[in-house]
Chains A and B, each alone.
Chain A
Amino acid sequence: MLKDIIKKEIQETITSAKFVFTFLLCAILILLSVYTGIVSYHSDQKEFSAAVALNKKNLESQPSYMYLASLGTKINKPPQVLGAISSGVDEAVGRVATVNISLDPNLVDSKYESNPVFSVFGALDLTFIVKIVLSLFAILFTYDAIVGEKEKGTLKLTLSNKVPRDRLILGKVIGGFISLLIPLIIPLILSLLILLVYPNISLAGQDWIRLLLMFLMFFLYLSVFFTLGLLVSARTNKSSTSFLVLLFIWVTFVTIIPKLSVVTAARLHPIPSVHEITAKKDAFLQQIQVEYQKIAINYTKENPMKKGENVKEYQDKFKKWAEDIQQEATAKIDANNAALELDYGAKKRSQVSLAINLSRVSPASALTFSTMSLARTGLDEHDRFLASIRGYKPIFTKWANAKMMRTLDFSGAGQTAKVVLDDMPQHKFEPETLSKSLARTIPDFGLMLFLIIVFFAGAYVSFLKYDVR
């Protein structure tokens, strides 16, 4: 009997115009989003390699270490292949940072900056499609699952037979879920195939695991709306009411809770403005510059060249002193910047994590954050990348200062020492490991499972007591 109910449920759904429409739209959207994601990853990858090469060429062509030190090197953020599925914050945050001896590095030049219209509509990645479109479909498939049968009179007719109610709801759940999965799984498999055959895109073993976890998350997210639809349809007496209630909950989950939590977090945990921090950094920089200029002037006063002293020796001594003093000054600046950033970063992080945790009660936010973490396109990965650049800055500065001071030329001909990059320290970044990403997403998986269980149990119990007339 259960088999008959499941079969009927699937048959009834897939022969409907609703299903055909959904299937087509799902297929088009999923394939389109994965395809455009891959294409844009591909072009990002190209852009990235070009930028790295250009930077190297640029550095090599500098006339002296002095130029190199003040111009600095550019660190480009490598694109993430899974960003094709979940672009996360990658489109909104900066992609390139300039590291030189004076300014504190920051990632700038985001995709949104180059085309602000993007930011208005957001990315059309698979996560977005699942979050907005497919969740609506899940509702569309279930809002009348029970109340619709009541309106058709088929519920009474069904229950005038020897059909236990728990069997009936179970059959409806299984059948309904299978019919929802069909328009989802077929395009997803096709898009995996695209990923496999698309040239120049290779997913490492770990990426496949990440991808499968993301798909699992999509599946759980849609199950949440599926069971929610069942629950509401088992608690209403009119399908139009059921649909309205579901639409209201959907809007709350998808837009209101995430936006409200950001606003609330900003109220509860205010942070100083970026300008304030920058002004502080600049003021300190100026102060140090003035201070050390004085020291430099005093040096020549206090250490005049002694009679009979070798000019070369005197200059070397000065170079040695100047390098030390320069290192000291930049180290102070770096330390001050780091302290400011640490404080600012801590405040910002607490605001951000408050916003994230507040919004996480909505499955839509949980979906967004978890897929971002799994794709390594989230805020945390971005912060880690920025931190690696800030960690690299003193290393670069030290190297550049040494090079600059040791090649100071007092002959009047200006600096002519050729720039050699062989021993220039390189920026290194270790992407987050799978286990760390996974640990970050566990609460989201937990929330989804919790909601599914609660909604399903609610639908089950409600249906056992449902007034079928």
Chain B
Amino acid sequence: MLETINLTKKYEDGLLAVDRLNFKVEPGEIFCMFGANGSGKTTTINLLLNFIPPTEGTALIEGIDVTKEPLRSKDYVSFVSENVMLYGNFTAFQNLDYFTKLAGKRGLTKADYAKGLKSVGLQEDAFNVRTKNYSKGMRQKLGLAIAVIKDAPNILLDEPTSGLDPKSGQEFLKLLIQMRDQGKSIFISTHDIFRAKLIADRVGFMKKGRLVIMKTRRELEGEDLTELYIQYMEERPESEPEHPK
């Protein structure tokens, strides 16, 4: 389970990037977070991973306060970053092997790694190629495979579909649904409304660090998500909370 309680981040330059954020992602749930560029999605993920300390509030992973027990909390979370380059001199296997060992999993065979790589749709002839020769989408798949093999109960994904071709995007959605059905809590920051609508159990809109709306799958039925997004992002200046400069 992922949870934030009044989570707030004010950067040193005074910018309020995340403002009293409250949400929960239950086991077996996919939560998609939308928001314009700079609305605070990546900052939220960084707070959940304790890469930056919160100004206020709490971030919990599996009920563990990430600022109090940062190391223990890491056992329960997989992270797929926006644009990971990985170790260019290593092949997919070598990268996977290293990060899997860091995740504390030992004794996995090459066959296990191959299975993980296939599950994210990476072509087999690329398994033994150095990743510096990978395309953006291929790297993203490898990053995804690392998270899949870690097999943590919570998954944080930062714009995971941005580099995927349509077929890979399709397979990626299947993979996410599969993981959700295994009972994982999945948080996705994305701009991909179309794909998100297909899988999201809940969606949230972020605007200037605030979660301005949250809707469940049922509430969204019959609604045009794109319309809603534009409506909330553009047409409601009056609902904008006061931000101290």
Contacts and interface: CB of A to CB of B under 8 A. Distances in A.
B104 A162 contact: yes
A343 interface: no
Contacts of B103: 161-162
A8 B79 contact: no
Contact of A162 (B71, B90, B99, B146): B71
B199 to A, nearest CB: 23
B213 interface: no
B39 interface: no
B98 A160 contact: no
Contact of B74 (A8, A153, A161): A161
Interface string B35-52: 000000000001001011
B146 A157 contact: yes
Highest count of chain B CB atoms <10 Å: which of A8, A161, A467, A469: A161
Contacts of A467: 51-52
Interface in B44-97: 46, 49, 51-52, 71-72, 74-75, 77-79, 81, 83-90, 94
B101 interface: yes
B104 to A, nearest CB: 6
Nearest to B73: A162
A162 B85 contact: no
A332 interface: no
Interface string A157-179: 11111111000000000000000
A162 B51 contact: no
Nearest to B94: A11
B101 A154 contact: no
A159 B49 CA distance: 8
B87 A156 contact: no
A152 B86 contact: yes
Contacts of B75: 162
B23 to A, nearest CB: 20
Interface in A157-203: 157-164
B87 A12 contact: yes
A157 B49 CA distance: 10
Nearest to B88: A152
Contact of B85 (A4, A16, A154): A154
B52 A161 contact: no
Contact of B79 (A4, A11, A12, A156): A156
A151 B78 contact: no
B62 to A, nearest CB: 13
Contacts of A162: 71-72, 74-75, 102-104
B85 A1 contact: no
A158 B102 contact: yes
A469 B82 CA distance: 11
A151 B85 contact: yes
Interface string A450-469: 00000000000000000111
A1 B49 CA distance: 20
B143 interface: yes
Contact of B98 (A4, A16, A159, A164): A4
B178 to A, nearest CB: 21
A161 B99 CA distance: 8
A15 interface: yes
Band of interface residues on A: 20 to 34
A466 to B, nearest CB: 10
A156 B89 contact: no
B142 to A, nearest CB: 11
B87 A157 contact: no
A6 B131 CA distance: 20
Nearest to A468: B51
B94 to A, nearest CB: 7
A154 B86 contact: yes
Interface in A1-57: 1, 4-5, 8, 11-12, 15-16
A160 B146 CA distance: 11
A157 B52 contact: no
Highest count of chain A CB atoms <10 Å: which of B46, B78, B101, B150: B101
Contact of A156 (B72, B81, B90, B102): B81
B74 A160 contact: yes
B79 A15 contact: no
Given A1-B101, A4-B98, A157 B84 contact: yes
Nearest to B106: A4
A153 B102 CA distance: 15
Highest count of chain A CB atoms <10 Å: which of B84, B86, B98: B98
A1 B103 CA distance: 9
A6 B167 CA distance: 38
A156 B52 CA distance: 11
A12 B89 contact: yes
B49 to A, nearest CB: 6
Given A4-B101, A161-B102, A469 B52 contact: yes
Contacts of B51: 156, 159, 467-469
Given A157-B81, A158-B102, 8 more contacts: A152-B84, A152-B87, A153-B85, A156-B84, A159-B51, A162-B102, A163-B74, A468-B51
Interface of B: 46, 49, 51-52, 71-72, 74-75, 77-79, 81, 83-90, 94, 98-99, 101-104, 143, 146, 150
12 contacts: A1-B101, A151-B85, A153-B81, A153-B85, A154-B84, A154-B86, A154-B87, A159-B51, A161-B150, A162-B71, A162-B74, A163-B74
Ordered nearest first, which 8 A-B pairs have the shortest CB separation?
A160-B79, A153-B84, A152-B85, A161-B102, A162-B74, A4-B101, A15-B89, A8-B98
Interface of A: 1, 4-5, 8, 11-12, 15-16, 151-154, 156-164, 467-469
